[in-house]
Amino acid sequence: MTGPVKSDIGDPRLVFNNHLGGIDLNKIGKELFSEGKYEEALEKYEQSLEIRRKNSNLLDIASCLNAIG
């Protein structure tokens, strides 16, 4: 299962929620932002949000299935 989801993209507990094929989107986004590549950083942040949203949905489904039996 994944860790807690928080709004702070730099939270180290999000490491499982923000990986895409082993790539840490938070780290990449921060590096791009620090280099002034704001559009690319925003894209990585949006990908990270989508992954967290999908993980949250999966956790909801797992909770429902667990409650059923």
Output the pLDDT for position 62. Answer: 84
**Residue 33 is which amino acid?**
F
| Report field, pTM of the whole predicted structure over 0.75 | no
**Residue 38 is which amino acid?**
Y
Output the pLDDT for position 42. Answer: 86
pLDDT(5) > 60: no
- 10 Å CB burial of residue 24 (0-12, 13-18, 19+) is middle
| pLDDT, tens digit, 9 for 90 and up, residues 8-34 | 445 444 444 455 555 677 778 888 888
Domain holding 59, by residue range, is 12-68
Structural domains counted in the chain:
1
* 4 part of a folded domain: no
* 40 part of a folded domain: yes
Closest listed residue to residue 25, CA positions, set 8, 46, 5, 54: 46
* 7 part of a folded domain: no
Output the pLDDT for position 63. Answer: 84
* 1 part of a folded domain: no
Phi (first) and psi of residue 20, to 5 degrees: -125, 100
Q: Assess contact for 25 and 51: CB atoms under 8 A.
A: yes
